[in-house]
Copies of this chain bind each other. A is one copy, B any other.
């Protein structure tokens, strides 16, 4: 059966306003849609999202990218490198997937050396004009500027598709965005018969996570003996920019300030990175001050996608910094940069533990 479904109550929904369906359990997997801030709508037919770019037969002369997150950076940098003039407008200093202020600042400077990027942009007016879209904004140099671009690309995030589902007719709790509150190990909404999987739940909008969620939700919804919690994988996020960006495990801003130490490495003087002429990057690694366990990392740098897998696996295996240092590191490899960060973390753990004993 195909059609738009709406919940009527905890055990009924209507499909396409004509068919009523009684259900025992339901899985919500309605995905998300690009979120378009009202300001951008003035760009009219020249307002596009990432999907549209792949329909282009030729490249525009100039674009304004709104949003300096994962999608904004990947597409904006690629277009810049293809010769398109790129203006990128971000908000709240947010660049890429970072929550660590130093790593974020490093990435911001790196991308700023390549194209115009304002991570705290003030855009005053957007107007559809004859030859494109006119944008009036406060330039990073402080002056007001008006620039004309061919397209405005909205990379301003996505909104879960929850608003036309009649969720208000269900006896489940919704969060401030109208998204059901759910358990990420069972995908069940409270104690209800409703499950929710994929981007619609506004948790981690990533292919491999959505695949896990679909399986967990589907299996649990179908089980006769009630839902079983499934241990989720260590978090990993990668941005395929240059340098690549990655976050793994616990985000920096989710950690209690005095509970961890940070081990750092710059890739600017890292041997292999220099040989490859790709020596740009900074990795911060967070380790639990008490147990020495690796908790998470945020990084920009060469081959970050691979270091991210190594670290995510290490985090899921609950390795301590000392145990990770017992693992093999070949030569010459970027993994030796990770080893430098681990050694730095190790030294800080030793000092922190000495301080604790002295106190």
Contact = CB atoms under 8 A, between A and B. Distances in A.
B326 A309 contact: no
A331 B335 CA distance: 21
Contact of A312 (B319, B328, B331): B328
B313 A328 contact: yes
A190 to B, nearest CB: 27
Interface string A296-335: 0000000101101110111011010000001111110101
Interface in A174-189: none
B330 A236 contact: yes
Given A313-B313, A314-B313, A319-B317, A308 B330 contact: yes
A235 interface: yes
B330 A208 contact: yes
A309 B312 contact: no
Contact of A328 (B306, B309, B327): B309
Nearest to A316: B327
Interface residues of A, number: 30
Contacts of A329: 208, 309
B331 A233 contact: no
A103 to B, nearest CB: 19
Contacts of A308: 330
B206 A326 contact: no
15 contacts: A206-B330, A207-B331, A208-B331, A233-B326, A234-B327, A238-B330, A238-B333, A305-B333, A306-B306, A310-B313, A312-B327, A313-B314, A313-B327, A313-B328, A317-B317
Interface of A: 206-208, 231, 233-238, 303, 305-306, 308-310, 312-314, 316-317, 319, 326-331, 333, 335
